[in-house]
Amino acid sequence: MATLLRPTDLNEISSDAEVQKMDEERKLKKKKEQKQLELRDAFMERDIHPEVFDRINHAVSVAAKQGQHQIQVITFPCSYCSDGGRRINIADPEWPQTLEGFAKRAFEFFDKELRPLGYKLHAEIISFPGGMPGEVGLFLKW
């Protein structure tokens, strides 16, 4: 003969389900944090592509044919800047000093190869999730 579940049994079932749900959420959070670390590491180690001149020429030509005078060349989280993007957010002229990893190498490439040709580089915060700076966009202008 089957017996009915008691309220204490139901409470135990509910508690077990809650613990399992919390464990799954913790695992997902840990996995997401690991993925973010891997993305950051990849960004910090990334170098300028060997075909950079061809890629730039193609991108700016296409944009110019469309009547544009700038292209967005890089996007990355503000947390990848040494100051969390604060100098970029306030348009401090010293913002390039806060760049790290690939963004720093890209700026150095710009400074050496593109600035002498008359190009300009503009940085701005392009997203504000929850009202806080989220993503930086670097724009090549002509």
Give yes or no: residues 38 and 58 share one domain.
no
SS3 48: coil
Is the pTM above the cut of 0.95? no
3-state secondary structure 74-123: EEEEHHHCCCCCHHHHCCCCCHHHHCCHHHHHHHHHHHHHHHHHCCEEEE
Give yes or no: residues 80 and 32 share one domain.
no
Domain tally for the chain? 2
Compute the distance between CA of residue 58 and CA of residue 53 in angstroms, rounded to an integer.
9
Q: Cβ distance 134 to 128 under 8 Å? A: yes
| Residue labelled with tokens 């504000």 | 128
Q: Cβ distance 136 to 123 under 8 Å? A: yes
Is 133 inside any structural domain?
A: yes
Q: pLDDT of the chain along its 142 residues, tens only?
A: 788 999 999 999 999 999 999 999 999 999 999 999 999 999 999 999 999 999 999 999 999 999 999 999 999 999 999 999 999 999 999 999 999 999 999 999 999 999 999 999 999 999 999 999 999 999 999 9
